[in-house]
Amino acid sequence: MKNICVIGSGYVGMVTATCFADLGNKIVAVDVDEGKIEKLKQGVMPIYEPGLEELVERNVNAKRLYFTTSYEEGLQDADFVFICVGTPSAVDGEADLKYVRAAAQTIAEKMTKPLIVVNKSTVPVGTGDWTAEIIRNAQPEPIDFAVVSCPEFLREGSAIADFMNPDRNVFGSTNREAAEEVAHLYDPLGAVTVITDIRTSEMIKYASNAFLATRISFINEISIICERLGADVTEVARGMGYDKRIGPHFLNAGAGFGGSCFPKDVKALANMALIHGTHPQLLNAVMEINDFQRKHLGMKIRQLLDDSVDGKVIGMLGLAFKPNTDDIRDSPALTIARTLMNQGAKIRAYDPVAMENVKDELPTIELVENPYAVADGADILVVLTEWNEFKQLDMKRVKKLLNEPILVDGRNIYKPQTMRELGFVYRGVGRGFNGEGVRSD
């Protein structure tokens, strides 16, 4: 049993705190957002993450997990403090470190005994050294501490399983002993461990996200070529994925990558490269292709509506940036909705869990209670998040409800042939000539 303080109760902080508690440690989770902490104390989750609520309840009841806004309380008995605050994009795409700075400063001011400070936020290479400097300068009197980088690789929607069954855990520090102590916290998981220096650890995180984003942009570029040449990108990806050197993951063409991480992290890495005098050509192309993929879907929708969306009702299935999350940060669905609304369209949408968040972000979208209500009287139906519940809709009913039986499958969840047999004008992503399907002759 270790005493651990977790700073920041967002997606990463909540999962880290709860999973470490479940492994038998005593955790105090600290957040500056009073409303969030108040809700957590009442058992109300600030985010939607499958399995989280039950796990929080179990560990709160077992008195292994506490929530507070007080750093003093959080640090009182702590041997480790995990920084899990946001690192959003700043003006030029660089990571904005204001939350990390504030957390480091407050830790320095409130710590009363030696401490290992673990950075889980995704931060530019060099931030570990900078964090140590901030702590050193802000301590009222010198107390021993070490800084360890321990990047997080979980995915939203499967975060608990990812924490409990990681492909690897990475630890970086100038203080090897401290890195090993943090690594021991993960011993019960039996995962592969990489212990390295702090800058390499920070770079492993950016390089991993950028590589996955590159695979997505690669297959999206292939999808556009498939549309011109009459091939089906889903079959192309399947045929590629069996090659062990390539593998099947992250080869789904679609609306492009979104979320709070890939877009900002690729941008931040490109920015790091630029300000250090190199030219990140591939990273720039990855971002450009991703922007184009969203625009391309918007253009496809417009073309199918006789080149004008003005006054048309566009039905959207899915608003979250991916299934099994309520996160709408940089969601392709919202970018496409904004573009179409600027061109005069009316958007009617449904998402199983993200609608509350959309109400604040884009109040002009009409939100309805199920996929059939979306289709009712719409001029076109567009799938933008591949939620399971969209995969087996009563498509005969959907077709009857639509004004025109036009279906844009932005995540390739339906079989083109089946949809055409049902009488839909079907367009997927990268599925045959101009998205019209592979010729059977």
Please give the positions annotated as active site.
261
226 binds ligand UGA (CB under 6 A): no
Report the distance separating Cα 231 and Cα 248, nearest Å. Answer: 18
Report the distance separating Cα 1 and Cα 295, nearest Å. Answer: 51
Which of 26, 267, 302, 322 is close enough to bind ligand UGA by CB under 6 A? 322
The stretch among 135-143, 252-260, 390-398, 415-423 that binds ligand UGA (CB under 6 A) is 252-260
**355-379: b or e for each residue (b if 16 or more CB lie within 10 Å)?**
bebbeeebeebebbeebbbbbbebb
Q: How far is the CB of 20 from ligand UGA (least distance, A)?
A: 17
Contact 307, 280 (CB under 8 A): no
Q: How far is the CB of 413 from ligand UGA (least distance, A)?
A: 12
Task: Please give the C-alpha separations between residue 267 and each of 178, 188, 223, 287, 291, in angstroms, as whole numbers.
Answer: 31, 35, 23, 8, 12
Comparing CB distances to ligand UGA, the nearer of 131 and 214 is 214
Please state the φ and ψ torsions of residue 214, each to the nearest 5 degrees: -65, -40
> What does 430 interact with, of ligand UGA, ligand NAD, none (CB < 5 to 8 A by kind)?
none
259 binds ligand UGA (CB under 6 A): yes
Longest dimension (CA), the chain: 80
Tell me, what DSSP letter sits at residue 307?
T
Comparing CB distances to ligand NAD, the nearer of 97 and 305 is 97
Which of 71, 99, 262, 426 is close enough to bind ligand UGA by CB under 6 A? 262
Q: How many residues does the chain have?
A: 441
Q: State the residues that interact with ligand NAD by CB under 6 A.
A: 7-13, 30-33, 36, 84-87, 99, 102-103, 121-122, 152, 154, 156, 260-261
Task: Please give the C-alpha separations between residue 214 and each of 141, 207, 208, 210, in angstroms, as whole numbers.
Answer: 46, 10, 10, 6
Please state the φ and ψ torsions of residue 235, each to the nearest 5 degrees: -75, -35
Q: How far is the CB of 11 from ligand NAD (least distance, A)?
A: 4
Which of 58, 101, 155, 338 is close enough to bind ligand UGA by CB under 6 A? 155
> What does 435 interact with, of ligand NAD, ligand UGA, none (CB < 5 to 8 A by kind)?
none
The residues near 135 (Cβ < 8 Å, ≥ 6 apart) are 104, 105, 107, 108, 117, 145, 147
Q: Which contacts (CB < 8 Å, 24+ apart) does range 188-193 have?
A: 188/23, 189/164, 189/165, 191/165, 191/166, 191/167, 192/167, 192/168, 193/168, 193/169
Comparing CB distances to ligand UGA, the nearer of 150 and 401 is 150
Task: Provide the mask over 38-67, with x wherever binding to ligand UGA is found by CB under 6 A and - wherever it is not.
Answer: ------------------------------
Comparing CB distances to ligand UGA, the nearer of 59 and 121 is 121
Q: How far is the CB of 23 from ligand NAD (least distance, A)?
A: 19
321 binds ligand UGA (CB under 6 A): yes
Report the distance separating Cα 31 and Cα 34, nearest Å. Answer: 7
Which of 252, 271, 339, 412 is close enough to bind ligand UGA by CB under 6 A? 252
Task: Please give the C-alpha separations between residue 318 and each of 141, 291, 362, 369, 407, in angstroms, as whole numbers.
Answer: 53, 19, 14, 12, 14
Q: How far is the CB of 435 from ligand UGA (least distance, A)?
A: 17
Please state the φ and ψ torsions of residue 319, each to the nearest 5 degrees: -130, -25
> What does 258 interact with, of ligand NAD, ligand UGA, none (CB < 5 to 8 A by kind)?
ligand UGA
Comparing CB distances to ligand NAD, the nearer of 18 and 339 is 18
Q: How far is the CB of 96 from ligand UGA (least distance, A)?
A: 15
Comparing CB distances to ligand UGA, the nearer of 185 and 251 is 251
Comparing CB distances to ligand UGA, the nearer of 168 and 279 is 168
Which of 22, 152, 232, 409 is close enough to bind ligand UGA by CB under 6 A? 152
Report the distance separating Cα 84 and Cα 357, nearest Å. Answer: 21
Residue numbers at the binding site for ligand UGA (CB under 6 A): 122, 152-156, 209, 212, 216, 250-252, 254, 257-259, 261-262, 321-322
